[in-house]
A and B are shown apart, each in its own frame.
Chain A
Amino acid sequence: MKRKRISLFDVLTHMLGAVLLAMVLYPLILIVSCSVSDPQLVATGQVLLFPKGITFDGYRQILKNKDILIGYGNTIFYTVVGTLINLAVTVPAGYALTKRTLPGGKIFMAFFMFIMYFSGGLIPSFLVVKGLGLYNTRWVLLILGAYNTYNCIICRTFFDAMPKELEEAAVIDGCSVTGTFFQVVLPLSKALMGVMVLYFAVGHWNAYFDALIYIKDDGMQPLQVFLRRILILAQQQANMEEAAEYAQSLANLEALIRYAVIVVSSLPLLIVYPFLQKYFDQGVMIGSVKG
């Protein structure tokens, strides 16, 4: 065995790693600290790392805020149902495209690839959605993006790498293609499904622009739209006023809610992704880049 020696190189790289770590962690810790600190101390810039004057009023305030609760409920609904629709549309398409003997397979591939480079754009898409009577309905946020070429190619690459013998054996045993897909292929694709669920769910959870364009009623808005109002629009207005007046207006619970709402809205994804990390680290993306 080699003697354990710490080289200068190791020290340097680990220091750089620590710097990166601190750069990412500091803002996140600060937000959490501010969310449980006395708003007066936060507003006067005294909370710089650790919480001071601990209070959970911000979180209590959230529970009383109707908008946030409605938004949260809507977002959960859009994320769960939307992701299921995404999976149902995109994953089977990726599987079908692995079939090299499929007549017209190349045409389908071109049909799907073309939209990665060219689109009708914002207004024509808006007119189509409106024409279908989907404007200002929950369906818009569930259906838009149901199919995604990028993710479809990830699926295809993954299914392509699976041993063909398994499917062949199932077919010989009298299993239909659909049966093979659901009973043989999918149970072996947990890694893929994990990554797909994560990608699609993150997309739904964090999206705001489609809602801004297509949803008019507040009762149907997702959380991100309310977040935009609380975090950005309100602050912009506040910044326009005199600084002193502004500091005072923020030195109340309304200000505290900003930090708490950031924590509450971001936490679900931040808790889930480390569990799926081993899957997206495995290089599921390699194949996708080459098309």
Chain B
Amino acid sequence: MKKKEKRAGRQAFGLKLSTRIWRHREYYLFLLPAVVYVAIFCYAPMYGLQIAFKDYKVSLGVSGSPWVGMRNFTDFFRGYYFRNLIRNTLVLSLYSLIVGFPVPIFVALILNELKPKFKKVTQTVLYAPHFISTVVIIGMITIFFSPSMGVVNTLLNGLGMDSIYFMGNPKYFRHLYVWSGVWQGMGWGAIIYLAALAGVDPGLHEAAAIDGASRMKRIFHINIPCIMPTIIIMLILQVGRIASVGYEKVYLMQNELNMEVAEVISTYVYKRGLINNNYSFSTAVGLFNNVVNVILVLIANQISKKCSDTSLF
């Protein structure tokens, strides 16, 4: 079959380019909507990135506004919030990574050992939180951890402790953010590892069982090594995202009391840009964040290429 494809390819290459393009016209039509969308909504904004180096005025437009060089960036780096924002963003995502990364692997390894029926039910239930919206998740946290009627405080009171206003105390913000994320994502995140575990050669397990390896031992010496490539790919993807904490969830959890730890780069970009109308400055902050992200992905990819043979590109 491969040979056939190759021959077809060679034949096609023998033709003139215009003929080949004409022959594929319908495929281009298939691509057209996607290309138009991406050009307008993904690439056109990249042209607009130049306002990071300008003093954008609505009346002058993107190209008409005067250049100011790196001023917006230096303003940000020297600004009062800079260190705090970087710290909050990094701490939040590192904490999420350290806790959130191993949990789905652990869940998958456990699910894999369950009896089929119980496995199926558990799996289905564990996926449920993934389908609940961020707004509802934060709403649930707000309710459960509320100082007067939340279950958590009812429990604390039962143990003879005072109620705690969790959402309003900066001390608890990171824990709530990360652990609610674990709760929401542990089942869904396990899918990929379950698929990898399903691909493990049963022969390995049979051979190991005959040699007297316990099931625990087989997890460590067969299952985990077999899903290692998947684990590494997922790790690269996650490490590349370390500098980017999305605004959707953090923004919902913010209030006046926890802002010192809850303000991250993306929410800052939103507020400075769209609430205070500081377009140029906000674009510069976003661009800085984006460039850092790209560099991190490249570094993570490079390291993984060197240490194992798995890489994204």
Contact = CB atoms under 8 A, between A and B. Distances in A.
A206 B133 contact: yes
A156 to B, nearest CB: 12
A280 B30 CA distance: 25
Contacts of B252: 228, 232
Q: Which of B5, B21, B24, B148 has the most CB of A within 10 A?
A: B148
A112 B37 CA distance: 11
Contact of A124 (B46, B124, B215): B46
Contacts of B150: 45
A232 B139 contact: yes
Nearest to B287: A121
Given A89-B34, A89-B37, A123 B286 contact: yes
A123 B195 contact: no
A60 to B, nearest CB: 20
For this complex, into which size category does the number of interface residues on chain B fall? Answer: 35 or more
B112 to A, nearest CB: 9
A208 B139 CA distance: 14
Contacts of B24: 99, 101-103
Contacts of A246: 147-148
A91 B178 CA distance: 34
The B interface is mostly helix, strand or loop, or mixed, namely: helix
A232 B62 contact: no
Nearest to A48: B151
A52 to B, nearest CB: 14
The A interface is mostly helix, strand or loop, or mixed, namely: helix
A76 interface: no
A213 interface: yes
B233 interface: yes
For this complex, into which size category does the number of interface residues on chain A fall? Answer: 35 or more
A266 B312 CA distance: 35
26 contacts: A17-B110, A17-B118, A24-B125, A24-B126, A24-B128, A45-B149, A45-B157, A103-B21, A115-B42, A122-B270, A124-B49, A124-B283, A132-B40, A143-B37, A152-B34, A228-B135, A230-B139, A232-B139, A235-B143, A239-B168, A243-B148, A247-B149, A269-B132, A277-B124, A285-B195, A286-B192
Interface of A: 7, 9-10, 13-14, 16-17, 20-21, 23-25, 27-28, 30-31, 42-45, 48, 88-90, 92-93, 95-97, 99-104, 108, 111-112, 115, 117-129, 132, 143-144, 146-147, 152, 164, 176-178, 181, 202, 205-206, 208-209, 213, 224, 227-228, 230-232, 235-236, 239, 243, 246-247, 250, 258-259, 262, 265-266, 269-270, 273-274, 277, 280-283, 285-286, 289-291
A-B CB proximity, top 9 nearest: A120-B45, A231-B139, A124-B48, A121-B286, A206-B133, A283-B195, A45-B154, A93-B34, A124-B45
